[in-house]
Structure 1
Amino acid sequence: MWGFMQAKSCVNPDYMSSQQDINAKMRAILIDWLIEVHYKFELMDETLFLTVNVIDRFLEKEVVPRKKLQLVGITALLLACKYEEVSVPVVEDLVLISDRAYTKGQILEMEKLILNTLQFNMSVPTPYVFMKRFLKAADADKQLELVSFFMLELCLVEYQMLNYRPSHLAAAAVYTAQCAINRCQQWTKVCESHSRYTGDQLLECSRMMVDFHQKAGTGKLTGVHRKYSTYKFGCAAKILPAQFMLELGGTAPPPSGAI
C-alpha cells in the first residue's frame, strides 16, 4: 500500500531535462528561499514538505519560464497551507513576501493551473509522514528529532535527492542523525523493522547527507543551516557531522538489538 502511495508522490528524478528555462540550481534557490518564508510564517513542518512535493510534481508536468518559477513556489506554499494549516496566510502576504513580483490575480490563476495539472491530488505521503513513524521507532528524544529534521530539510534543496523515495530519505535522516549524535553507526532491529530498510540500504543516502551537513553553513544557500542554528531548533546544525561515515569502507554493521 505504502509503495503504491509513494509512487504517486514521486517524480522523475530527471524531469529538469525537459525544462527549457530553469534548472536544478534555480530550484535550489527557490526552495532555500521558501524554507525561510515557511520559517517566518511559523508554519507546520508538513506544510514545507508538501510545498516542495507540489513544486516538483508540477514542474515535472509543466514547462515553466524562469520569471514564473517564484510564482509557482509561493502558490505551492499557499496550496500546502490550505491543506495542512488551520490558519492560512492571506494572498496579500504572499504578494508582499515576493516583493510584489506578482499580483493577487496571478497567484490565484497559478493556483488553478497547479490544481488542475495535479488533478487536485494533494494527499501524498511526503518524507514528513515517514519521519514521524521512524522517530517513534527510534524512541527519539528532542535532539534526535531536530537533528533528523535538519538532515531531511537539507535534502529538500538538493535536486539529486529526488532519486530516493520519501520513506528512504526519512529513514536515512534518522540513521544519519543517530550516527552524528552517538558518533557511531547505529540502526536497531526495531528501526529496520518499521522502516523496512537495512543499514546497508541507507548507507549511500546517509553519506550524501553527511556531505550536505559538512557544507551546510557555506555557500549562498544556507537557509536550512541558519534555521537549525537557532535555539528554537535546538542548534541542531551545530552538531558535528558524522564524518567517520565517509571514511569507513565496506558496509553498515548489522542492526543491534531493540532499543
Structure 2
Amino acid sequence: MESKENAARSAPPLRRPRGKRKALTELPTNERHDTDGGSAPRRPSKPRTRSAARAEAEAEEARKRREAEDAARGDDVTLLLDPKRQDSGGAQAAVAPYVGDIDRYLRSLEVEPLRRPSPDYFQKIQKHISPKMRAVLVDWLVEVADEFKLKAETLCLAVSYVDRFLTVNVVTRDKLQLLGVTALLIAAKYEEIESSKMKVNKYTDITDHTYTKQQVVKMEADLLKSLNFEIGGPTVTAFLRRFIASCRGGSRTSSEKLVSMCSYLAELSLLDYDCISYLPSVVAAACLFVARFTIRPKMHPWNLTLQHNTGYKAFDLQKSIFIIHELQLSIRCPDQKAIREKYEDPKFGRVSTMASPQEIPASFFEDCNK
C-alpha cells in the first residue's frame, strides 16, 4: 500500500495537451463567488423612504439601460431571432424604450475621428507593408480567433485597432504579426469574459514564439497609447445585430441562414482595405443587402422598412455592395481561405458554398418609394 502511495507521489503531474500552434510564417512580398459566510438571523427590514424608493427605481432604470446597450452591441445576433434564448422577452422589452437613443449613440460614435482609421494610410504612412499583407494578417487572425473561440465582435475590434495603429505609425513587415496578435489580445480583454482568453502566453504561443512576452507587452502599451485608450466603439457586427432584427418574420431556418450569411460577409469585409473607407453601419447594411440577395436572388433585397431602420437607400450603398459582392465571388482577396473554409461548416449552414448571381440587377438599386 505504501509503495503505491509513494509511486503516486513520485509520478509526474498530468499535463493538458497543448493546442495546435499557428504561426504567420510567411507574408507575400466573471466568476460569481458566494460570500454568504453564515446563517446569522436577519434583522427586520426598515420601511422604505421615498428617497430610497426613488433610488431603487433609478437603479432599475440604469440596469435596464445597460441591458439594452449590451443587447444592442452584443455578438450573438441569434438572441434577437430565437425566442427560446430570450429571457421571457426581458431583453427585447429592455431594448424597446431606448432603441432611438442607442441608435443615435452608435451613429455618433462611428463618425468620431479618433475612432476612424485613415482610408489612405498605405499611401501616406506605410512604406514596408501593403494591403495584400494586411489581408494575409486578417486571414490569420480569423484562424486564431476561431481556435481561441473568440467572439466575432472581438475579431472586428482587433482589426479596427490594427487599422487605427497603422494610420499613425510606420510598421515593418516583421512587426505586422506582432501588431495583429497584440490587437487581438486587447480586444479579448475588452470583450471576452473567460480569463483564459486573456493570457499573454497564449498569444505568444500561437505565433510559435516568434515574439516574446515582453515584446507583446511593449506593443500592447504602444497600441493603447496610439488608440488614446479608446478601445470601444461600434463595429459592423454591432450594427448588423440591429439591422437583422428588422428582418424577423420568416421561418427559424431562414432566419438562421440570414444570420450566418451576414456574419460570413461581415468577416469577409475585414479582409479588404477598401472597406475601411466606409462607416461600419454602411458596411453592415451592404452585407445585409447582399445576404438577402444571395438567399433570394429574384426578390428585391431592400424595402422601406430596411431603408428606415438602416438609414440608407439601396442606391446610397451601391459601391459598398459591389465590394462585398466581389469578396463573396472571390474576385477580391481570392487567396485568403480561412473565412470561406470556416463558413463551410454545417453549423453555419455552409453559407460560403452558396452560389450568388454574378450580377446584381440595376433595378434593385432604384428607390423603394417608386
Please tell me the TM-score bracket, short chain as reference. over 0.9
For residue 157 of structure 1, report the CA deviation from its aligned partner.
0.5
Q: CA deviation at 1:251?
A: 5.9
Quote the Cα distance in structure 2 between the aligned partners of 1:13 and 1:84: 25
Q: Distance in 2 between matches of 1:181 and 1:234?
A: 12
Q: Give me the TM-score of the superposition, normalised by structure 2.
A: 0.66
Partner of 1:237: 352
Distance (whole Å) between structure 2 residues aligned to residue 3 and residue 219 of structure 1: 32
Is residue 2:216 matched to residue 1:107?
yes
Asked if the contact 1:127–1:170 (Cα under 8 Å) also holds between the matched residues in 2, the reply is yes
* DSSP 3-state at the match of 2:365: coil
* From 150, 155, 175, the counterpart of 1:68: 175
TM alignment of 1:129-208, pairs within 5 A:
129-139=238-248, 141-184=255-298, 185-208=300-323
- Which of residues 27, 41, 48 is equivalent to 2:155? 48
Q: Which amino acid aligns with 1:57?
A: R
Partner residue of 2:233?
124
Q: CA deviation at 1:21?
A: 1.0
Quick check: which has more Rg, 1 or 2? Answer: 2
User: How far apart, in 1, do the equivalents of 2:368 and 2:357 lie?
Assistant: 18
Are 1:221 and 2:336 counterparts?
Answer: yes
The residue that corresponds to 2:136 in the other structure is: 29
**Superposition deviation, residue 7 in structure 1:** 1.9
Q: Which whole-Å CA distance do the structure 1 matches of 2:357 and 2:265 have between them?
A: 11
**Match for 1:4: what amino acid?**
S
SS in 2 for 1:53: helix
What is the identity, as a one-letter code, of the residue corresponding to 1:12? S
**Deviations 1:120-159, CA, capped at 9 Å, x for gaps:** 1011111111110001012271100110111111110000
TM-score normalised over the length of structure 1: 0.93
- Residue 253 of structure 1: aligned partner: 366
Aligned to 2:307, what secondary structure does the other structure show? helix
User: Following the alignment from structure 2 to structure 1, what is the Cα–Cα distance between the partners of residues 212 and 270?
Assistant: 27
Quickly say closer, same or farther: Cα 1:209–1:237, change in 2 above 3 A: same
Structure 2 gaps, min length 5: 1-103, 249-253
**Matches of 1:256 and 1:89 in 2, distance apart?**
49
Partners of 1:29 and 1:163 lie apart in 2 by 19
Q: Deviations over 1:159-217 (max 9, x none)?
A: 01111110000001001100000113311211111110011112221122111111179
Q: Deviations over 1:75-115 (max 9, x none)?
A: 00000000000012421111111111100111011101111
Name the CA shift for 1:110/1:218 in 2 (closer, same or farther; >3 Å).
Answer: closer
Deviations along 1:42-67, one digit per CA (max 9) or x if unpaired, are: 11111011011111011111111111
TM alignment of 1:81-92, pairs within 5 A:
81-87=188-194, 88-92=197-201
Which consecutive residues of structure 1, in runs of 5 or more, have no partner in the other structure? Answer: none
Other structure's SS at 2:306 match: helix
CA RMSD of aligned residues (A): 1.9
Shift of 1:4: 3.2
Q: Please say which of residues 162-171 and 214-223 is displaced more in the overlay.
A: 214-223
Work out whether residues 76 and 111 of structure 1, in 8 Å CA contact, stay in contact via their aligned partners in 2: yes
Q: Give the 3-state SS of the residue equivalent to 1:21 in structure 2.
A: coil
Q: Distance in 2 between matches of 1:217 and 1:68?
A: 25
- State the SS of the aligned residue for 2:368: coil
Contact 1:32 1:224 in 2 (8 A): yes
Q: Does the CA contact (< 8 Å) of 1:176 and 1:242 recur in 2?
A: no
Q: Distance in 2 between matches of 1:217 and 1:21?
A: 22
Aligned residues: 255
Query: For the structure 1 residues 217 and 167, does the alpha-carbon distance in structure 2 shift closer, same or farther, using more than 3 Å as the test?
Result: closer
**Equivalent runs, 1:7-26 vs 2, <5 Å:** 7-8=111-112, 9-17=115-123, 18-26=125-133
Structure having greater relative contact order (Cα 8 Å, sep ≥ 6): 1
- In 2, the alpha carbon distance for the partners of 1:125 and 1:63 equals 26
